[in-house]
């Protein structure tokens, strides 16, 4: 097995540490909460390094919210030291409930066993070698009180190296369906209402290696967007070591096949037609190539942005199926199969690849806090958060772009007096319930 690879640049880590120290972590958190549900944290273990196991358990025991139980399911670890350590720790804390499987059920089977043993109203999924921020559960419960109908909650995260140093923070957007089809951006920390999880059938062992991602895809097929909540704080510490997927996808080579199957099955269940394509450069990322009319059946025309013009005027003189709005004339001779996004019912405007990285990051202000966007601008593109927003497909709101692809018929649904500039057009489409999509796989040439 090839040694795991990771990016741990000292300068980048210092930039993050400086930023993290400036954050208002010491601001008071609302601890006067009406609803205080029991949260069951499920942790499957298998030959876990004892030190990491202790760190994980300690991070749960140190939670500022105390109505929790920790369900540890050892998946028939050959290493007796792991089981001995679990038993020893559980003796000193009745909130820790250990179970020892006689035969290996793999991670999905062990997780489901834990779910069935849990008593909590909400289930939190925690990996055996990772850690939680001390206020993770408290902030989750605050969100549950803030949004009574919420059923699925996730948080931001950061990686830990073997020495416990934080690096590679991942700042996530609120619910973002195209991002989830590009990469499992939700990952950790995920909390799901127990009744919903039971109704879903728990995790599916067919997708071992990407069972969490498949679960998230499946859950979001049935949940409303108002039932999915994001806590924009780093509350999860993802440990990176030789055998972790965080360090090296090749540590679990079966993961790639499981990811493709999960995404392919999800698209079919949503009754959509798309080819699931693995990114040729970044192996953990995927691109959905949605079906579209053939090139012969699609007419495309280029119109220059002008605040002196309006949507109504454009529609009165333009009959093309797809209109490219731009600052200058555009030469599009790319792969027409990538235009499938434009014809999707939920997509308003599509932004092709932007070569100015600062502009790409700047557009994130529509989905991320402005302070976080400013921090991301400081990072190298090798930092995960910056890299993933430069190279993946994801949804935005109203943004500035030199080029927009828009299906003509969608323009007829917005205010006809809307001015012909990128922010006005994307805002008007978003106000009608459409999503803006950044698609770096579409490349264009501006003349």
**pLDDT tens, residue by residue, 286-297:** 999 998 877 778
Q: What is the pLDDT of residue 444?
A: 85
Write the CB contacts of 241 (distance below 8 Å, at least 6 apart in sequence).
4, 49, 52, 129, 162, 247
pLDDT higher than 60, residue 3: no
pTM (global) more than 0.85: yes
Q: Residue 334's pLDDT is what? A: 67
For residue 192, the cross-strand partners are: 123, 152
Rg value, the chain, Cα? 23
Q: Tell me which residue of 221, 183, 174 sits closest to 199, measured CA to CA.
A: 221
| pLDDT at position 4 over 50 | no
Mean pLDDT over 97-125 rounds to 97
Separation between Cα atoms, residue 216 and residue 233, nearest integer Å: 20
For the chain, percent of residues with pLDDT exceeding 70:
92
Band the pLDDT of 250: cuts 50, 70, 90.
Answer: low
Is it the case that residue 9 has pLDDT exceeding 90? no
Cα three-residue angle 38-44-48, rounded to 5 degrees: 125
Is residue 247 scored above 50 in pLDDT? Answer: no
Which ranges in the chain are annotated with CATH 3.90.550.10? 3-22+30-264
The whole-number average pLDDT for the span 409-437 is: 97
User: Residue 349: in which H helix or E strand, if any?
Assistant: strand 347-351
| 296-341 pLDDT per residue, tens | 788 989 999 999 999 999 999 999 999 999 999 887 766 666 789 9
Stretch among 73-77, 179-183, 333-337, 349-353 having the lowest mean pLDDT? 333-337
Q: Which CATH superfamily is domain 3-22+30-264 in?
A: Spore Coat Polysaccharide Biosynthesis Protein SpsA; Chain A (3.90.550.10)
Distances (CA, A) of 165 to 265, 281, 298: 38, 28, 53
In this prediction, residue 5 has a pLDDT band, given cuts at 50, 70 and 90, of very low
Split at pLDDT 50, 70, 90, the class of 155 is very high
């Amino acid at each position: 097995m090839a040694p795991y690879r990771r990016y741990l640049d000292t300068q980048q880590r210092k930039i993050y540490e400086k930023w993290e120290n400036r954050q208002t972590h010491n601001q008071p958190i609302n601890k006067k909460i009406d609803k205080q549900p029991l949260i069951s944290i499920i942790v499957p273990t298998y030959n876990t390094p004892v030190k990491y196991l202790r760190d994980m358990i300690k991070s749960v025991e140190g939670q500022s919210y105390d109505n929790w139980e920790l369900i540890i399911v050892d998946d028939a670890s050959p290493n007796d030291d792991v089981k001995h350590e679990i038993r020893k720790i559980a003796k000193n804390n009745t909130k820790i409930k250990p179970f020892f499987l006689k035969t290996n059920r793999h991670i999905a089977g062990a997780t489901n066993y834990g779910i069935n043993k849990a008593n909590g109203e909400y289930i939190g999924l925690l990996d055996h070698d990772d850690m939680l921020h001390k206020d993770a559960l408290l902030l989750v419960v605050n969100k549950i009180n803030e949004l009574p109908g919420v059923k699925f909650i996730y948080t931001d995260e950061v990686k830990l190296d073997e020495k416990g140093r934080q690096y590679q923070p991942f700042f996530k957007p609120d619910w973002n369906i195209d991002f989830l089809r590009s990469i499992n951006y939700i990952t950790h920390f995920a909390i799901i209402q127990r009744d919903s999880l039971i109704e879903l059938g728990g995790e599916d062992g067919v997708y071992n290696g990407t069972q969490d991602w498949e679960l998230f895809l499946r859950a979001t097929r049935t949940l409303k967007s108002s039932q999915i909540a994001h806590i924009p704080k780093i509350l999860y510490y993802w440990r990176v070591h030789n055998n972790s997927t965080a360090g090296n996808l090749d540590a679990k080579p079966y993961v790639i096949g499981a990811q493709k199957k999960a995404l392919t099955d999800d698209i079919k269940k949503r009754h959509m037609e798309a080819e699931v394509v693995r990114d040729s450069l970044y192996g953990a990322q995927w691109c959905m190539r949605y079906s579209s009319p053939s090139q012969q059946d699609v007419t495309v025309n280029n119109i220059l942005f002008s605040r002196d013009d309006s949507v109504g005027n454009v529609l009165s003189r333009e009959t093309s199926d797809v209109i490219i709005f731009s600052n200058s004339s555009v030469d599009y001779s790319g792969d027409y199969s990538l235009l499938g996004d434009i014809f999707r019912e939920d997509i308003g405007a599509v932004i092709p690849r932007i070569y100015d990285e600062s502009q790409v990051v700047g557009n994130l202000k529509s989905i991320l806090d402005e302070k976080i966007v400013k921090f991301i601008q400081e990072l190298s593109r090798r930092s995960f958060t910056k890299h993933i927003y430069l190279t993946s497909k994801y949804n935005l709101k109203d943004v500035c772009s030199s080029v927009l692809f828009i299906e003509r018929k969608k323009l007829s649904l917005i205010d006809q007096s809307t001015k012909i500039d990128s922010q006005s057009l994307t805002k008007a489409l978003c106000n009608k319930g459409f999503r803006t999509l950044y698609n770096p796989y579409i490349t264009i040439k501006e003349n």
